Amino acid sequence: MFDSLEVIVEGAIGRIWLNRPARLNALSIGLLEELAEAARWFDTQPAVRVVVVAGRGRAFSAGADLQGFPSLEDSDLRAAADAGRRMADALENMRALAIASIHGWCVGGGLVVAAACDLRLAASTARFSIPEIDLGIPLAWGGIPRLVREIGPALTKELVITCREFDAEEAHSAGFLNRVVTEAGLEEATLALAESIAAKPAIPVFATKRHTNAVTAGMVGIERAWSDADSLVGALLDPECSAAREAYIKSRVG
- Please give the chain's pLDDT, 254 residues, in tens: 899 999 999 999 999 999 999 999 999 999 999 999 999 999 999 999 999 999 999 999 999 998 877 766 666 889 999 999 999 999 999 999 999 999 999 999 999 999 999 999 999 999 999 999 999 999 999 999 999 999 999 999 999 999 999 999 999 999 999 999 999 999 999 999 999 999 999 999 999 999 999 999 989 999 889 999 999 999 999 999 999 999 988 887 75
Residues listed for the chain: 254
What is the model's pLDDT at position 207? Answer: 98
CA pair distance 8, 17, nearest whole angstrom: 8
CA pair distance 132, 243, nearest whole angstrom: 13
Residue 228: CB atoms within 10 Å: 22
Using DSSP, state whether 186 is helix, strand or coil.
helix
What is the model's pLDDT at position 254? Answer: 56
Q: What is the pLDDT of residues 150-161, one digit of tens each?
A: 999 999 999 999
Q: What is the pLDDT of residues 151-199, one digit of tens each?
A: 999 999 999 999 999 999 999 999 999 999 999 999 999 999 999 999 9
In this prediction the pTM is 0.96
CATH number for the domain running over 5-185: 3.90.226.10
Q: Is the CA virtual torsion 69, 105, 194, 201 positive or negative? A: negative
Q: In the chain, where are the structural domains located?
A: 5-185
CA pair distance 162, 183, nearest whole angstrom: 27
What is the model's pLDDT at position 72? Answer: 65
* Angle in degrees, CA 100, 105, 110, rounded to 5: 55
